[in-house]
């Protein structure tokens, strides 16, 4: 049940239950996630996830799009920021730290040469930086330790930082 | 200018102009992208990109969230699908292939043990698969070649498939 007084409004009991379930049976930690994308003409498309409203995608005009929505590489950066926000909220709560506010700036450099077919090689981000701004009742060392821990356990962060087998095939 | 009769509604002239610009001056291909994430309490947050409406994020109830929006790992899969859609639209147009429809199913397996603090190691996706369904005037071999090319030049695809330096620091 939601209680207004709950620390950071995080349902830490639900997380604890999940932890216990996965401790008893490690196979319970194995999850599969899905998204479906539908092309809408030009460089416009939309992501459909479970029963949620479709999320639009487009490219800036300079890249041949109509600039009606964030583009895929911006969506990737937002996914990282959202993942880090969950990590900070969960682990601050577990450490009994009250969060007053939390925001994350994510930035990445990308050379378009490979995407544009001008050079073989790496089409992705060269590097990504996330700066986590926390206003809380914890000191700078506690926050630094929290940020380090969250970075070391972030599903999106690790997916970006490590080599993942990505298979792209015709259906 | 938008013309209705344009192949796949792709502004291939804009892409060609960008290619020429980057050919003349390789530094023009160097781009920087940003997203800002604001925490909204619990596991809810929103991604803010340029002037677009904020995109909400949450976690399923079983993971301690309130299930009001796709979660960050689902957003990551959608970003990949949207990136591949741009790649297919751009390169089909460059090859004079008419697309009637295009959809992409993206799926990935993820073990929650590391995120939950039960095991050190890899918190990210173990593997990701994208299945591209194209209805077009091209034959299966042309489509297979197109998909292969798009996979080899995808900014999000390469960011996931390769090791990227990801720095997460307190602001």
Please check whether residue A64 is in contact with residue B18, taking contact to mean a CB–CB distance below 8 angstroms. Answer: yes
Closest Cβ opposite residue B147 in set A72, A114, A170: A170
Q: Do residues B80 and B138 both lie within one domain?
A: yes
Q: Do residues A153 and A91 both lie within one domain?
A: yes
Q: Do residues B90 and B43 both lie within one domain?
A: no
Closest Cβ opposite residue B131 in set A12, A74, A169: A169
**In this predicted structure, what is the pLDDT of residue A1?**
52
Distances (CA, A) of B149 to A46, A116, A139, B100, B164: 22, 11, 50, 20, 21
Instruction: List, as one string, the DSSP characters of B61-110.
Output: GGGTS--SS--HHHHHHHHHHHHHHHHHHHHHHHTTPPEEEEEEEEEEEE
Mean residue pLDDT of chain B comes to: 95
Domain housing A90? 71-163
Residue bearing tokens 């301690």? B64
Residue A19 domain flag: no
Rounded distance between C-alpha atoms, residue A87 and residue A149, angstroms: 9
Q: Do residues B88 and B138 both lie within one domain?
A: yes
Q: Do residues A52 and A99 both lie within one domain?
A: no
Q: Do residues B110 and B125 both lie within one domain?
A: yes
**In this predicted structure, what is the pLDDT of residue B79?**
98
**Sign for the pseudo-dihedral over CA of A164, A48, A58, B81:** positive
Q: Do residues B127 and B151 both lie within one domain?
A: yes
Helix (H/G/I), strand (E/B), else coil: A149: helix
Q: Do residues B54 and B83 both lie within one domain?
A: no
Q: Do residues A41 and A86 both lie within one domain?
A: no
The answer to whether B37 contacts A112, with C-beta atoms less than 8 Å apart, is no
Q: Do residues A159 and A89 both lie within one domain?
A: yes
Among B23, B52, B69, the domain boundary falls at B69
B17-59 pLDDT tens trace: 999 999 999 999 999 999 999 999 999 999 999 999 999 999 9
Among B19, B47, B69, the domain boundary falls at B69
A97-139 pLDDT tens trace: 999 999 999 999 999 999 999 999 999 999 999 999 999 999 9
Distance of CA A92 to the CA centre of its chain: 18
Residue B119 domain flag: yes
Identify the residue among B128, B149, B158, B159 best suited for mutation to test binding to A, counting A beta carbons within 10 A and taking the highest.
B159
Contacts of A134 in chain B (CB under 8 A): 170
Specify the number of domains making up chain B. 2
Paired tokens of A169: 């095939």
Minimal Cα–Cα distance from B137 to chain A, Å? 15
Rounded distance between C-alpha atoms, residue A94 and residue A89, angstroms: 9
Residue A146 domain flag: yes
Please give the model's pTM, rounded to 2 decimal places: 0.96
Domain of residue B127, CATH code: 3.30.300.20
Identify the residue among A106, A155, A157, A163 best suited for mutation to test binding to B, counting B beta carbons within 10 A and taking the highest.
A155
Contacts of B139 in chain A (CB under 8 A): none
ipTM: 0.96
**In this predicted structure, what is the pLDDT of residue B1?**
52
Residue bearing tokens 């890899």? B122
């Amino acid at each position: 049940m939601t209680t207004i007084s709950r620390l950071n409004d995080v349902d830490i009991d639900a997380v604890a239950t999940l932890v216990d379930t996965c401790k008893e049976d490690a196979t319970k930690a194995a999850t599969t996630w899905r998204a479906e994308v539908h092309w809408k003409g030009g460089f416009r498309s939309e992501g459909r996830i479970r029963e949620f409203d479709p999320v639009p995608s487009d490219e800036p005009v300079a890249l041949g799009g109509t600039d009606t929505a964030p583009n895929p590489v911006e969506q990737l950066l937002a996914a990282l920021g959202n993942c880090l926000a969950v990590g900070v909220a969960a682990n601050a709560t577990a450490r009994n730290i009250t969060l007053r506010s939390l925001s994350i700036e994510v930035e990445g450099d990308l050379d378009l040469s490979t995407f544009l077919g001008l050079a073989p090689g790496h089409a992705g981000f060269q590097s990504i930086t996330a700066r986590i701004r926390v206003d809380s009742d914890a000191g700078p060392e506690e926050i630094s330790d929290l940020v380090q821990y969250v970075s070391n356990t972030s599903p999106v962060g690790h997916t970006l930082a490590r080599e993942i087998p990505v298979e792209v095939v015709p259906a």
